[in-house]
Amino acid sequence: MLNKATICRTIRSVCLAIKALADVFISFPGHRRLCDIKEEFYRIAGFPNVIGAVDCTHIRIKAPSGAHEADFVNRKSFHSINVQMVCNADCVISNVVAKWPGSVHDSRIFRASEIYQCLSQGEFSGVLLGDRGYGCQPFLLTPFTDPQEAQQAYNHAHARTRARVEMTFGLLKARFHCLHKLRVSPVRACDITVACAVLHNVACLRKERAPRVPPAMDWDNPAIFPDDDSGRLLRDQYVLNYFS
């Protein structure tokens, strides 16, 4: 019979081996042509030019030891890591950032991410959709806080389309129940989360049967960065051109 230490080392090795495949199975904006990605999003609710939906999800962990324990307490008052993901219309994960404590705000994680730098430099033609926790940018469109007339149609299409990332979180956690609470260190929790994202994409690409997904929790929180003027202008143009 194998002892506990041997089993833990073996699991750790397998986890890291799967995580090493992230660059193969997790690719932004995806493994399909950009026009196909946009078309699949457009079919959901008529929202054009979308190349991804972005959001963060909290992975509960045990309270870590050390001086930075409080950093991992999120606004729901439990210990977690806050993981950013971007997905396509098929709930395939195209980007994952798993390295931040639960107390860090979604928009701060996005601002510090490589994908933010790429999008802000115009490397990809298209927009992400995000919730009100993000500031509106020319490459990341958010809902109107107090929508008027045509803005309501925009918000409706935005919500239906962006819901794909919430569906992705639900599928991921339904496939891998360990993500409901990881009893490991934060670093290992991040590694396990990325490994699960890789396996989720493999399951999606192989068209494995999707698990039953419970209703999503509302994790919206107020933005800490203001809307960009050019982002607001682009959002107004979307309303005028596509939802009026």
pLDDT tens by residue, 60-70: 999 998 878 99
pLDDT score, position 49: 97
Q: What CA–CA distance (Å, rounded) separates 166 from 219?
A: 10
- Residue 31 confidence class, pLDDT cut points 50, 70, 90: confident
Q: Which residues pair with 228 in a beta bridge?
A: none
pLDDT score, position 186: 96
Share of residues in the chain with pLDDT > 70 (%): 95
Q: Are 109 and 200 in contact (CB under 8 A)?
A: no
Q: Are 171 and 202 in contact (CB under 8 A)?
A: no
pLDDT score, position 210: 83
Pairing, β 50-60 against β 80-87 = antiparallel
Q: What CA–CA distance (Å, rounded) separates 242 from 112?
A: 31
pLDDT score, position 66: 81
Pairing, β 127-129 against β 140-141 = parallel
- pLDDT tens for each residue of 207-234: 898 888 766 555 556 667 788 899 999 9
Provide the 10 A C-beta neighbour count for residue 136: 23
- Residue 204 confidence class, pLDDT cut points 50, 70, 90: very high
Which amino acid is located at 19 in the chain? K
* Centroid of chain to Cα 196: 14
